[in-house]
Amino acid sequence: MPAIGLGTFGSDHVSAGQIAEAVKGAAKIGYRHFDCAAVYGNEAEIGAALQDVLASGIRREEIWVTSKLWNDKHAEAEVIPAFKQSLADLRLDYL
């Protein structure tokens, strides 16, 4: 796991598109860890950005992506669907 990563929380003052551009820029200068969460509301945009990163020649094996379950997704029936949604939004096969 890389020692330094880019957090993708944008709150209400940074748009999902701006975060996605930050992901692409960070990957370009050497970042390889991206810390995400469904509750941030930007995993789909980050997923599109990650596809651009991978298309640039950076291999998936080089990239470390983390996500988190929000508090309302910890019930047994919610964990797997929430995880699968993050995978789908991030356009990844694994985290």
Active site residues: 40
What whole-number distance in Å separates Cα of residue 85 and Cα of residue 72? Answer: 14
What whole-number distance in Å separates Cα of residue 70 and Cα of residue 38? Answer: 7
Burial class (CB in 10 A: 0-12, 13-18, 19+), 81: exposed
The beta strands (E) that lie in 13-95 are given as 33-35, 64-66
